[in-house]
Structure 1
């Protein structure tokens, strides 16, 4: 892949505020000025660039764009026509678009047919900054957007004083053109207009990436001025009754004679009255400037200020804070907005997906947002209580899709072993994990993988329990096998911590089942021993480890080949090294993954691969080189991500490179890489901090002298290529690096743990 130059591309409002306190002047840094909301919106990153007022907000207000038959996963595309501005989106997702609901579209003049194509090209590229978005349409209308957690503000500037209109389209959704059966559908709704032009209603939608059944969103809209005309339509472009309902097309047309109109909209999953209550988060006299300022303050306080660095390089700062912003756009905190059950527990939705995020995003979520992270974990367990299974992914209040294993297990184990307790009921947490490990989920007959459930749980569990491996009777057999192994190790972790000795031993043994999928005679590029398909009679299927056919839902491997998946049993690395022929062969195999082009920095199964050199003494420097190679694929621009953001997984991966550590999920281990900055501080909450400092032994810089020469952890000389949670995160700590231009044999101590290896 090419290595684009790091640069900063952003527009918007940038401020530096001074807070006056008694007897002093305190500077409140505005990190938001470094955020490019368009980072990763092109080149397959699929980031959402619109308005997200707070981390994890329910409302994500932005444009919906059509360009030929291109899926606009987050609603945004740089080319094409805008066909609406809607209240709900997901960021950085793949598969198929989700949401794009509760939409408005401004039109010059009257609208005789609201069912016609009202889309407009843009007169100039969209502009945006944190908390603010602007589109200038070719018809002369300018749209500016702001939001709160549950409400959005549209400000329309029309080209003249003649009549102009706003069309509210309840039937509007983001379409998909992939032809895989993942497209969304509008299936009904209701729309009513009051005498003063206020409107309320709801829309019902289904399908999308997670194949959800019907779900409902309610809305409540208010304009700053009373329309001169308004009418509803329900599929034939003409008003019929008030309220109206329909399953084909549904909405309303509001006509004004004014150069400027503002529109406030609240949404809710509970009722129209709750949507109207949520609307009051934006009062009639709330200005767009106020909303933008509030959004910046929230993001600065809750997310952006959690990482501080000594760098004054604008490209560095833009990359750090744009990546932090992108990493915390979803999941969505919908506490108080759960239509499915009443609970005193928090509720989070838009989890996309633990297959993507469990490797490094959730661990970053934990250290930077410990309070929200505990709420998030409680929400997962509560979903199990009421829906029967933990989600591996979830949106529109419905679990799905499972790409591999039940990776919520890995997330819970990672939190448990790192001491997350608070208000979490870990007995219930363990019971939820045992459900994944022991209960076969009902088949939802996904057309892309009809063999077993893709909604939740472990669909290939029958083979796993009977044979200790997965046969080709199940799709994605090999990749699921290695993930089920890590899932069982996760269950072991929590069982052991809760003193459940028998269960802990059972799941530790089961976590070694990836070995049953290992064919010692499979060969590829002068290496032998790979994970391959295996039949019920015990025979291995002849398989080229470099070939995974389509590498998709119906194949033996999902989104990567055996070269990558054979290195994914991260709880059992010492055993893996033995099986590939020892340290030298292990290093050579890792090298070949890169030399042969199997490594893909944009694909999550590859995420940990570059840093496995740390499991061989004297080879940590190779992890540093690979880390810097990954980092070179990022920048703060619109094409600044090496792959789909995947709900912030891609951005989290980069941020760990900057810190100079990489987490091993489900363990307390962090592999040591090489930090970027002379000083970097992580705010861990409750007054705890991790301070990382770097000095250079030969006058170099991070580019010319990236290799660790020596390290002190909490003031003590360190000789291991890893640290543990308790060393630097549990109570905070310090890491003092000396860097140089050549590799140094500094990590001569104990190797990172391989807890499942015998």
Structure 2
């Protein structure tokens, strides 16, 4: 799954049934379910974290698909670790420095405990999982209750051991230098202070995507009322209280040798152990400093309440009316908003298409973010992406820049001797580079760099060089009836061929479609889908595809035939591109087709990887009725799923409001009949970002039948060719 065309959303969040009233005075946290998407390939991180927090504490399972650490499918627990991604595909990532508890070791011998990850896996009690923002807990089959909360760089675990009376043993907690992916490289280290039990160390690991490595550092301290008994290190299946430091190699056959440290505590009839783990990507000393500053007194409740407050402050700026809306709708919405703030994070670099960080930076620019930002530096960074090819463009920037500048497209089987990456995806890279350049042109114009603006507006049209006007598409030998599709071209400007249906949801060829070296010319989707990816000049695209009526028929065909897959990001904007052909009502219908049918409030409720909150952002923005075209100050208007939506801007503290007249909780009336903006008639089917910063009021009157609202040429969203 691709984290590419990021939906740039807002920053906004214990459980009770939705009251049948319109009041905004409610706690939004009651509608956040952090377990949505934790199985069936959603890969969502279910554990404790702060908004965009580095520390992400959760139980790790031995499920086949445990990219988020915990998979809610009954799989056994292998440890409780501190760093995680959320919703990513590929190999499991992070899951570093896992702790694992034992109430005692067999024969009261440290060698009587089981150390390797594959051997120590333990089930958990059915129904014991508790997960809310800032907190995660469960009960192991061993009877040990484990729960956790976090500060920004620090995890705090609480291990409550069962009461064994006079037969209580010495609880042991180990810290493992193995990560989720078993990707640890050579020379991980750990040292254990013999008097305090403090553990410090580091390890170097691989990412789930891309290349390169990252090094993470930890500092673990422990607190127990019974006091410390002893400590040491373990290697493979054996442990020693005499050895206090370890430097361990990767091992052989791609599986890291088990190793780490442990602390053991004096017996107690009622023993609770707190473990505080500081984290850093700088040094173990910095990890210790983080832990001491953020959680100085091992106070679990205070730390948890602070985490709850941080989430509440982030999510409170969005309030929706609850009148007539069932709880699942509210949970779907607020949980989606929540997941947009768990990530993103990128510790090594990778890129899957264009230099799409340009879109994120440009989005912030056009939406007026200024606090602490040097936009001249920002512009220099995106311009460098457009002009200079890095040596390893598989991780950053763009490749094929010689061809881009001479041929004005990325060719199939390019000859690139300047930088190196997978020589595939020539169509999707051409389309994405074109959009990247358009976003850069907006920044240039805003910074009064007129020559640059005109230059990048020109290069943003290079996508047209891969449009083959006479290309047809066949499905199982039957002509789809449409002519004109993107196709790959070679260095000599002749056409190559890729079946427009290849890599689509209905493609049965088994063609590689991701970052494989033998993959095709589109990335994780088909030419059928990518034919709609010209976000900055839909007017020209619609003309090339035969005009508005034919364009609508193509979009209908894409969705009705199941060619698109809503579980991957390239599908998102296609749901709403009817707006550009003057049919906003069809966008509303498509939205209600996909939600809630493909987005449910259950652990298996997502249609694909959440991808750092991408699925959450699709749900949240769709349900607010203001879907963004990222990198532009454009939001496509559809009826929200609520009678009213209030969004308070963190920049201006003004509250924007969308109100619905004739709101229908059965969602039969989803056709806008007319609208007003600040009390005046408003006919455009889109709105810009000033709606939020100036705190405007948009009132939508709904009806059962499609109307003429938002259908005239002057009502359509902007395109480059129409200015």
Q: TM > 0.5 between the two? A: yes
Q: Distance in 2 between matches of 1:677 and 1:438?
A: 46
Residue 203 of structure 1: how far off its partner (Å): 1.8
Q: Distance in 2 between matches of 1:716 and 1:543?
A: 50
Q: Distance in 2 between matches of 1:74 and 1:420?
A: 31
User: Which residue is 1:191 aligned to?
Assistant: 190
Matched residue SS, 2:718? coil
Within 5 Å, which residues of 2 pair with 1:194-343? 194-209=193-208, 210-225=210-225, 226-235=227-236, 237-239=238-240, 241-247=243-249, 248-256=257-265, 257-258=267-268, 259-281=271-293, 286-311=298-323, 313-331=326-344
Residue 597 of structure 1: how far off its partner (Å): 0.9
Residue 642 of structure 1: how far off its partner (Å): 2.1
Residue 756 of structure 1: how far off its partner (Å): 4.1
Q: TM-score, normalised by structure 1?
A: 0.82
Q: Distance in 1 between matches of 2:664 and 2:638?
A: 17
Residue 282 of structure 1: how far off its partner (Å): 5.9
Matched residue SS, 2:239? coil
Does structure 1 residue 33 correspond to structure 2 residue 30?
yes
Q: Distance in 1 between matches of 2:295 and 2:522?
A: 52
Residue 463 of structure 1: how far off its partner (Å): 2.0
Q: Distance in 2 between matches of 1:748 and 1:115?
A: 66
User: Which residue is 1:128 aligned to?
Assistant: 131
Which residue, out of 58, 63, 66, partners 2:62?
Answer: 66
Segment of structure 1 superposing worse, 128-137 or 619-628: 128-137
Q: Distance in 2 between matches of 1:583 and 1:219?
A: 61
User: Which residue is 2:419 aligned to?
Assistant: none
Residue 186 of structure 1: how far off its partner (Å): 4.0
Does structure 1 residue 174 correspond to structure 2 residue 180?
yes
Residue 286 of structure 1: how far off its partner (Å): 4.5
Residue 28 of structure 1: how far off its partner (Å): 7.2
User: Which residue is 1:5 aligned to?
Assistant: none
Which residue, out of 425, 435, 454, partners 1:486?
Answer: 435
Do the aligned partners of 1:124 and 1:137 also contact (CA within 8 Å) in 2? no
User: Which residue is 2:396 aligned to?
Assistant: 456
Within 5 Å, which residues of 2 pair with 1:41-52? 41-52=38-49
Residue 96 of structure 1: how far off its partner (Å): 1.9
Q: Distance in 2 between matches of 1:128 and 1:666?
A: 34
Segment of structure 1 superposing worse, 319-328 or 249-258: 249-258
Does structure 1 residue 514 correspond to structure 2 residue 463?
yes
Q: Distance in 2 between matches of 1:587 and 1:39?
A: 33
User: Which residue is 1:737 aligned to?
Assistant: 700
Residue 284 of structure 1: how far off its partner (Å): 6.8
Residue 703 of structure 1: how far off its partner (Å): 1.2
Q: Distance in 1 between matches of 2:580 and 2:185?
A: 52
Offset from partner CA, 1:584-635 (integer Å, 9 cap, x none): 1111111100122112111111111121111123x21111101111222212
Do the aligned partners of 2:318 and 2:645 also contact (CA within 8 Å) in 1? no
Segment of structure 1 superposing worse, 685-694 or 303-312: 303-312
Residue 285 of structure 1: how far off its partner (Å): 5.1
User: Which residue is 2:84 aligned to?
Assistant: 89
Offset from partner CA, 1:245-273 (integer Å, 9 cap, x none): 22243322222323322222222223333
Q: Distance in 2 between matches of 1:578 and 1:15?
A: 51
Residue 143 of structure 1: how far off its partner (Å): 0.8
Q: Distance in 2 between matches of 1:597 and 1:15?
A: 37
User: Which residue is 2:630 aligned to?
Assistant: 665
Do the aligned partners of 1:173 and 1:186 also contact (CA within 8 Å) in 2? no
Q: Distance in 1 between matches of 2:625 and 2:390?
A: 40
Which residue, out of 82, 101, 107, partners 1:106?
Answer: 101
Segment of structure 1 superposing worse, 281-290 or 210-219: 281-290
Q: Distance in 1 between matches of 2:298 and 2:237?
A: 37
Do the aligned partners of 2:144 and 2:160 also contact (CA within 8 Å) in 1? yes
Q: Distance in 2 between matches of 1:269 and 1:481?
A: 35
Offset from partner CA, 1:303-341 (integer Å, 9 cap, x none): 24433334463222222222221111113xxxxxxxxxx
Do the aligned partners of 1:197 and 1:230 also contact (CA within 8 Å) in 2? no
Which residue, out of 462, 473, 481, partners 1:526?
Answer: 481
Do the aligned partners of 1:624 and 1:706 also contact (CA within 8 Å) in 2? yes
Q: Distance in 2 between matches of 1:140 and 1:700?
A: 49
Q: Distance in 2 between matches of 1:172 and 1:109?
A: 22
Distance 1:566 1:284, change over 3 A: closer
User: Which residue is 2:20 aligned to?
Assistant: none
User: Which residue is 2:416 aligned to?
Assistant: none
Matched residue SS, 1:428? helix
Does structure 1 residue 163 correspond to structure 2 residue 169?
yes
Do the aligned partners of 1:170 and 1:189 also contact (CA within 8 Å) in 2? no
Residue 566 of structure 1: how far off its partner (Å): 0.8
Distance 1:143 1:164, change over 3 A: farther
Offset from partner CA, 1:117-136 (integer Å, 9 cap, x none): 11101122422122221121
Matched residue SS, 1:174? coil
Matched residue SS, 1:212? coil
- State how many pairs are aligned: 650
Which residue, out of 637, 640, 643, partners 1:678?
Answer: 643
Matched residue SS, 1:729? helix
Do the aligned partners of 2:178 and 2:184 also contact (CA within 8 Å) in 1? no
Residue 102 of structure 1: how far off its partner (Å): 1.7
Within 5 Å, which residues of 2 pair with 1:551-570? 551-553=513-515, 554-570=519-535
Q: Distance in 2 between matches of 1:86 and 1:616?
A: 50
Distance 1:153 1:420, change over 3 A: closer
Within 5 Å, which residues of 2 pair with 1:429-508? 429-443=378-392, 453-473=393-413, 474-508=423-457
Residue 465 of structure 1: how far off its partner (Å): 1.7
Segment of structure 1 superposing worse, 136-145 or 265-274: 265-274
Structure 1 alignment gaps of length 5 or more: 1-12, 17-25, 176-182, 332-349, 351-393, 444-452
Residue 41 of structure 1: how far off its partner (Å): 0.9
Q: Distance in 2 between matches of 1:694 and 1:640?
A: 28
Q: Distance in 2 between matches of 1:467 and 1:675?
A: 45
Matched residue SS, 2:131? strand
Distance 1:475 1:283, change over 3 A: closer
Does structure 1 residue 546 correspond to structure 2 residue 501?
yes
Q: Distance in 2 between matches of 1:29 and 1:622?
A: 33
Q: Distance in 2 between matches of 1:440 and 1:612?
A: 32
User: Which residue is 1:343 aligned to?
Assistant: none
Q: Distance in 1 between matches of 2:387 and 2:629?
A: 25
Which residue, out of 648, 668, 680, partners 1:704?
Answer: 668
Q: Distance in 1 between matches of 2:537 and 2:683?
A: 22
Structure 2 alignment gaps of length 5 or more: 1-13, 18-22, 250-256, 414-422, 474-479, 504-510
